[in-house]
Homo-oligomer: A and B are copies of this chain.
Amino acid sequence: MDAVDRIVEQWARQRPDLDTAPMELIGRMARVRNHMARAMDQTFAEFGLNAASFDLLATLLRAGPPHALSPTDLAAMMMITSGTMTNRIDQLVKTGLVERRKSPTDGRGFLICLTPEGMALIDRAVTAHVATQARLVAALDPDQRAALNAALSGLLIGFEGEGAGDGAGDGAGKGGDAGEDTAT
């Protein structure tokens, strides 16, 4: 009897015509994701980061040497708008974790590079993040994990299409929510 069960019960009384089985699934997934996001945020905070800045630094790290990407490429990979990208870069430049270099090939463009400090920080932060993630799924035994992963893959293929490009790129809503980093 969890919180989702209580909500489903209320609907059964108020609108017995509704089939709430999908709601159970989706509701639980939303709640699980919220708990996980909260836990991961704590790990980020230990390194003076939030999900947004962690995501940017991690994207640069896992891109491989020379750990430099254009704001446009970063925004595409992280599925955020260019304005948001500018803002995130500004903050990380202020804290000295990345730097803006002029693109050698395009006078309009920049390359966002990890500084040595940024490199060192994100390297440690990623290690801690992976440990946090391991802890978050520890409650599941291997069979359950495999089943969960298979079901999620099935859904994801349905949403994104088998071998589509990188981003879902639909176009999110505006204010407040919609995302909280999508990957890493």
Q: A residues near B, CB below 8 A?
A: 1-4, 6-7, 10-11, 13-15, 18-38, 41, 50-52, 61-64, 123, 126-127, 130, 133-134, 136-137, 139-140, 144-145, 147-160, 163, 166-168, 170, 172-173, 176-184
Contacts and interface: CB of A to CB of B under 8 A. Distances in A.
B137 A170 contact: no
Contacts of A23: 130, 133, 184
Oligomeric state, in copies: 2
User: Does more than half of chain A's interface fall in helix, strand or loop, or is it mixed?
Assistant: helix
B144 A150 contact: yes
A25 B116 CA distance: 31
Given A18-B127, A154-B144, A177-B177, A183 B2 contact: no
24 contacts: A3-B167, A4-B183, A7-B62, A10-B62, A11-B62, A15-B126, A18-B127, A22-B133, A23-B184, A25-B145, A25-B148, A26-B136, A30-B182, A31-B156, A31-B159, A34-B179, A35-B159, A38-B170, A136-B155, A139-B157, A140-B155, A144-B154, A147-B148, A176-B176
